[in-house]
Structure 1
Amino acid sequence: MIVYEYPFNERIRTLLRLEDLYEKFKFFVRQEHAMQHHVALSTIFDMLEVAGRADLKSDLLQELERQKQSLLAYRSNPNVAPEALDAILGELDQVSSALVATQGKTGQNVRDNEWLMSIRGRTIIPGGACEFDLPSYYAWQKRPTEQRYADIMGWFGPLAPLFDALALVLRLLRDSGRPTKMIATAGSYQQMLQGKVYHMLRLGLDETLGAIPEISANKYMLWVRFTTQGGDLKPKSLEEDVPFELTLCNF
């Protein structure tokens, strides 16, 4: 199954962008070549751009607290396993405390580092991080892999609580929905949402179908049109029925 996700609002869109950057960062920072570590460092700069909103930290803290209060209401429910409930409540407390303990604006430690900011300024320019532009950065790239890794993780460290928080929020959001089997007749599907507020749509497809969803949604209607790719990779409309799984998620 291939799962496509569609955010219904700007806040979830920002969290998904940051999650995507974090996955990229984790992959490249674990590699050994200097060029791969260059991508990891550049990804940190991208994270700062996306997470630049001053209220992102407070948004996450408010959502974590709201989830905690919502889960506490289940303590008296006999159908809820107390061990599982205590585990998720403990995780919420731990993640919230770590996020509260972070000082200043997100990524301020990177912004205060003049050397890193000089690299960031040059990486915006295509090919701007060549050795003749940044000889000190070129020299750093020649350091042992372990030292480069330690430096990058040190620069990323203060950002880690933010990413732990958004990962937990997105996990709870994804777990809130139940998948339902649907059929897109002649490659098209519509559903009235009747004003109910959702935060995310998840659409699961059998990858062997070769179908690609184009999703449009607001609080009143959901519309999915399926296309496929030809040899030139341009999207072409699918005129056949497409089975898929639809999950509508909200807190």
Structure 2
Amino acid sequence: MNKISYEFPLNEKCRTYLRIDNLFAQMQANLAMADSWQSLAFFKALFDFMELTERCDMRGDLSKDMERLRLKMQGWRERPDVDTAKLDGLCAELQQHAYQLPRSVRPGSCFKEDKFLGALRQRFTIPGGLCPFDVPIFPLWLAQPQAKRQAQAEAWLSELNLLNTANSLLLDLWREQGSFQPHIAKSAFYQDAADGCELLRLNIDAELGCYPTVSGHRSRFAIRFLPLTEQQRLGDVPFELACC
């Protein structure tokens, strides 16, 4: 079975965390700078990250959510099936990040002083704006040895390590709090309660030819499955769901 996995946020903060997570994955996937197209994909993700973090300073929200999760996890200590050594390690890691984030430099602020990134970013917003006549410095940068380009990309990414590590840790711990259960969307529709959940995770068989759309908030959510083509008619749709 060829399953497609989806994640849907149930609040605006989680939406931002998932977008940041996706952008980091894109940057890391193209970090090798093997060719010009991989380089362009890296810079596209980097500039999207810069624009997203300029709109909102997520350090405070991320710190509060990590502290809230740490206190929740401390309450699990009395459970008989809990690995207390692992729990203590995770709580200490959450506490460290929660303390460091508000005291750190705003992510990406150092990039504003980089003239090369500034010249490139300015042209990224123009359709076809990365032609050699638009940004003559870019072909020169691409002509450098791959190892040198990769080292510079790794240096840019290292400036974001704290945010990346904290964001990934929080999302991973949220994900682990929900287990997948089978469900049936009657006539391609399903709804349920979502008290205290941050995100929904769905698995669906690609052979069914449909995709989910989600509406909701912290208390309730609704999932409607839509067909890939207008000619297709949907009945009951089986899927797996985890509320995290």
1:246 alignment partner in structure 2 = 241
2:63 alignment partner in structure 1 = 61
Displacement after TM superposition at 1:70 (Å): 2.3
Q: How does 1:71-86 map to 2 (within 5 A)?
A: 71-86=73-88
Aligned letter for 1:215?
V
Question: Which 10-residue stretch deviates more, 175-184 or 86-95?
Answer: 86-95
Task: Indicate the SS of the match to 1:80.
Answer: coil
2:202 alignment partner in structure 1 = 203
Q: How does 1:142-181 map to 2 (within 5 A)?
A: 142-181=143-182
Task: Indicate the SS of the match to 2:30.
Answer: helix
- From 31, 45, 50, the counterpart of 1:48: 50
Matched, 1:115 2:110: no
Aligned letter for 2:125?
I
- Between the aligned partners of 1:196 and 1:73, the Cα distance in structure 2 is 18
Task: Indicate the SS of the match to 2:82.
Answer: coil
- Between the aligned partners of 1:4 and 1:85, the Cα distance in structure 2 is 28
Partners of 2:11 and 2:218 within 8 A in 1 = no
Show structure 2 runs of 5+ residues with no match: none
- Between the aligned partners of 1:63 and 1:223, the Cα distance in structure 2 is 25
For the structure 1 residues 50 and 96, does the alpha-carbon distance in structure 2 shift closer, same or farther, using more than 3 Å as the test?
same
Task: Indicate the SS of the match to 2:159.
Answer: helix
Partners of 1:187 and 1:237 within 8 A in 2 = no
1:77-117: CA deviations, max 9, x gaps?
433112221332243245446645632x2201101223311
Matched residues, percent identical? 31
Partners of 1:214 and 1:224 within 8 A in 2 = yes
Displacement after TM superposition at 1:128 (Å): 1.4
Tell me the TM-score normalized by structure 1.
0.86
Displacement after TM superposition at 1:163 (Å): 1.2
Partners of 2:63 and 2:99 within 8 A in 1 = no
- Between the aligned partners of 1:225 and 1:170, the Cα distance in structure 2 is 24
Tell me the TM-score normalized by structure 2.
0.88
Displacement after TM superposition at 1:176 (Å): 1.7
1:30 alignment partner in structure 2 = 32
Aligned letter for 2:111?
V
Show structure 1 runs of 5+ residues with no match: none
- Between the aligned partners of 1:14 and 1:78, the Cα distance in structure 2 is 35
2:227 alignment partner in structure 1 = 228
RMSD, aligned α-carbons: 2.2
- Paired residues in the alignment total 242
Q: How does 1:86-101 map to 2 (within 5 A)?
A: 86-96=88-98, 99=101
- Between the aligned partners of 1:220 and 1:100, the Cα distance in structure 2 is 29
1:12 alignment partner in structure 2 = 14
